[in-house]
Amino acid sequence: MRPPVVDLDGVAKTYGDVAALADAHLTVRRGEMLAIVGPSGSGKSTMLNIMGTLARPTAGTVRIDGHAVDDLSDRELSALRARTIGFVFQSFHLAGGVPALDAVADGLLYSGLPRGDRRRLAEAALRRVGLGPRLYSEPHQLSGGEKQRVAIARAVVGDPPLLLADEPTGALDSRSGAVVMELLHELHGAGTTVVVITHDRDIAESLPREVRIKDGRIEHDSAALRQEAVAR
Ligand SMILES: Nc1ncnc2c1ncn2[C@@H]1O[C@H](COP(=O)(O)OP(=O)(O)OP(=O)(O)O)[C@@H](O)[C@H]1O
Ligand SMILES: [Mg+2]
């Protein structure tokens, strides 16, 4: 079996008396593509933020690429995150007035690469998502689907082994959504591990693995069911 990229062991997150996530056990192995699906408020973003080391859990152990997050200093954690994880957020997170090429090149600010190399890689990433003709467009000149593709280009420009996407198609019409999903499938085909949060049952069912979450608890994991079937 391939090594785990993400391993959640008994992970919980509480906000005051709200249990956003409770006793989550989840292993994501290198090269997998999976959907995390569940109703609004069920804990999906909480789980993704914990997987992405953007939030620390209130209980349990999180391992990323074999490293227990708890054992790392903030500095080591930032380095691990920069090297390992690309994020695509639901709300694009693109700064106004910044051309696409610069927005994507900024994704490499902490890579140690010189500016010329950062821009060259950014251009290649934008071409990869079909935005070659939009290198110098600013967010207000781009459609929602194009903005989401800039966000994906920025997430993958450093070629991270793990891509975490929170509702990447949530704000898009079905055609732009399909383009974005195709792109995520291509990245998966090229070896990236892809975790996608979605409300969309059709998208969730179209992915190789589906994890359903409700009231902060994982209530279904198609991979676990497969393993039980093999063991029987
Ligand atoms: N920073 C916070 N402070 C307090 N409560 C929070 C915070 N973040 C999330 N919550 C609560 O935790 C629960 C899970 O939230 P989360 O954002 O993970 O849901 P979600 O499944 O991503 O929902 P959606 O589909 O609407 O994005 C919710 O009840 C939410 O109100
Ligand atoms: Mg959410």
Q: 15 CB under 6 A from ligand 1?
A: yes
Is there a contact between 172 and 165 (Cβ–Cβ < 8 Å)? Answer: no
Best of 11, 44, 197 for a ligand 1 pocket test (most atoms within 8 Å of beta carbon): 44
Show the domain range for 21: 4-89+142-231
Confidence class of residue 14 from pLDDT cuts 50, 70 and 90?
very high
pLDDT at residue 85 in the model? 94
pLDDT digits (tens, 9 = 90+) for 108-141: 987 889 999 999 999 999 998 889 999 999 999 9
Q: 212 CB under 6 A from ligand 1?
A: no
The CATH number given to whatever domain includes residue 77 is: 3.40.50.300
Question: Domain for residue 111, yes or no?
Answer: no
Is there a contact between 118 and 156 (Cβ–Cβ < 8 Å)? Answer: no
Q: 91 CB under 6 A from ligand 1?
A: no
Question: Domain for residue 102, yes or no?
Answer: no
In 118-230, at which residue ranges do the beta strands (DSSP E only) sit?
A: 162-166, 193-198, 209-214, 217-221
Question: Domain for residue 114, yes or no?
Answer: no
Question: Domain for residue 110, yes or no?
Answer: no
From the CA of 44, the nearest ligand is: 1
Question: Domain for residue 173, yes or no?
Answer: yes
pLDDT at residue 145 in the model? 86
Q: 52 CB under 6 A from ligand 1?
A: no
pLDDT at residue 223 in the model? 87
pLDDT digits (tens, 9 = 90+) for 54-112: 999 999 999 999 999 999 999 999 889 988 999 998 776 788 899 999 999 998 987 88
Mean pLDDT for the stretch of residues 32-55 = 95
Residue 225 has pLDDT above 70, yes or no: no
Question: Domain for residue 78, yes or no?
Answer: yes
pLDDT at residue 50 in the model? 96
From the CA of 54, the nearest ligand is: 1
Interval between CA 62 and ligand 2 midpoint (Å): 20
Cα gap 131→126, rounded to integer Å: 5
Question: Domain for residue 135, yes or no?
Answer: no
Which has the closest alpha carbon to 93: 46, 139, 142, 43? 139
From the CA of 46, the nearest ligand is: 1
Number of domains into which the chain is organized: 1
Residue 44 has pLDDT above 90, yes or no: yes
Question: Domain for residue 50, yes or no?
Answer: yes
